[in-house]
Amino acid sequence: MIRNGLILLLSSYFIISGCAAFIAGTGAGAGVYTYVNGELKTSYHAEFDETNRACTAVLNSLEMEITEKTSDSIKATIKAKQSNGTPVTIKTVMITPGTTEISVRSGIVGIWDKKVSELIHASIAQRLQK
């Protein structure tokens, strides 16, 4: 009863505040995806550097042109373009040694492509399992 009330309360908050959130289960041991304002996020049990190499490899395998890469020791951003020019941004953040959060945004504000973001995440998860 209390749990249902909490879910209703949180749902009402997101609707009133205009914040769209979507949570869906995943395979590949990544846990739960959170979809907020065009970013599809989840955490992976993988080292920060390994995760960034996997992200770059996935973009290359999907034939997306990497246009910019920035990184420090705990966070990184990779910007790319799909073959049709649509932008893709992958952000990685080290949560703990051995755990890295990845957020993927594809498309432009208001016209986000969740399916492309899901494809990128699935490809990253597959590479990190090897």
Distance CA 67, CA 125 (A): 23
Residues 48 and 96: their CA atoms lie apart, in Å, by 9
pLDDT in tens, 8-64: 344 443 333 333 333 333 333 445 788 888 899 999 999 999 999 999 999 999 999
Whole-number Å distance between alpha carbons of 33 and 107: 18
CA distance 21 to 77: 22
Cβ contact 108:115 at 8 Å: no
In a 13 Å sphere around the CA of 81, the CA atoms on its Cβ side amount to 7
pTM, whole model, 2 decimals? Answer: 0.75
Question: Domain 2-129: which CATH class?
Answer: alpha beta
